[in-house]
Homo-oligomer: A and B are copies of this chain.
């Protein structure tokens, strides 16, 4: 999407130098730092130290890392080493492993002298596939925003989103934000309420920056405010992303999503989840009972990062010394609170039947 008028992806090849480039997202929203990645070690660092984040972007970055290494040394040993080095950066990220396996499956059967070119083609294909999936999610979700705009006689469509399911987490478009970008492109009057998303503030740091950079009307709100806005008719639709959705439609997403789903349900506001179908875990049904929730460092709760009055990015401690914290990173929204799932194939109800109708091949395998 656009940064002050110029279209970007979150990872790209510089046309002049041929270098792979990314946005070092650790400095957003305060600084736009674009950095070239020159070696396997550079790519590994970018993933491990979270210069890039978001499952699809991590996968794409890993694929590019393999391609970079194949250009240097296309041997079997180098291929295996690249797989291991990159996999070790964030070993629990399912997309990372998927991308590395896809690269290896393509490259291993080839003679070494063909691997560099093939790796580059495959890595770019992984990126393009991600962009295409997200474009379709947006085109499908756009129909919902069109309906609201029509019902309101062209009046402003107010969307609430939580965390960053935006283009910075993918290669382009994002998931939850893709319908918004599509609606803006079509001239629909869209306004996005961006949940701050404590403790890591991805909403304030990333989604607000995306909206600001692309020129989408938006307001930042604290995570506490969404219920009040829904009570007063100020939200027309909630769209979030998801980290994992079960075969019956339970949605695991960033902590706090569940509270917004409860408020949406209580106030008749539709609650949609935008997701690429690989995010569906067909082996799990009861999300609350079966999905383990990562408990992260108390430091994320007791401290907040921002830009100090002198302009430096720093963090401040908000709590007294001696106070501990609990920090569950995700929660599960039961399917009955989810109005629908916006996928690359279309929109379906968050039910076993609805999902099976859209994805019969996976649903059958899961029975």
* Residue positions of A touching B, CB distance < 8 A: 28-30, 193-194, 196-199, 201, 204-205, 208-209, 211-213, 218-229, 231, 254-256, 258-260, 262-263, 266, 288, 293, 298, 301-309, 314-320, 322-328, 330-332
Contacts and interface: CB of A to CB of B under 8 A. Distances in A.
26 contacts: A30-B317, A193-B326, A197-B224, A204-B319, A209-B320, A219-B325, A220-B301, A221-B325, A224-B255, A224-B256, A225-B326, A227-B258, A227-B262, A228-B332, A229-B326, A231-B331, A259-B259, A259-B260, A259-B262, A259-B263, A304-B304, A306-B316, A307-B317, A308-B308, A314-B316, A315-B316
Nearest to A325: B220
A326 B316 CA distance: 23
Nearest to A300: B222
Given A220-B325, A223-B224, A293-B228, A318 B205 contact: yes
Contacts of A205: 318-319
Max chain B Cβ within 10 angstroms of own Cβ: one of A224, A266, A320, A325: A224
B227 A318 contact: no
Q: Which 7 A-B pairs have the closest CB atoms?
A: A224-B256, A306-B316, A29-B320, A228-B331, A198-B222, A262-B262, A306-B318
A200 to B, nearest CB: 9
B315 A259 contact: no
A223 B29 contact: no
A220 to B, nearest CB: 4
B226 A318 contact: no
Contact of A256 (B220, B225, B302, B323): B225
A218 B323 contact: yes
A323 B220 contact: yes
B320 A228 contact: no
A225 B224 CA distance: 11
A267 to B, nearest CB: 10
A295 to B, nearest CB: 10
A201 to B, nearest CB: 5
Contacts of A212: 320, 322-323
A275 to B, nearest CB: 20
A330 B229 CA distance: 11
Nearest to A331: B228
A260 B198 CA distance: 16
Contacts of A326: 193, 219-221, 225, 229
A319 B320 CA distance: 24
A327 to B, nearest CB: 7
A337 B315 CA distance: 37
Contact of A318 (B204, B302, B332): B204
Contact of A319 (B29, B223, B314, B325): B29
A213 B324 CA distance: 13
Nearest to A324: B219
B301 A306 contact: no
A269 B58 CA distance: 39
A213 B198 CA distance: 25
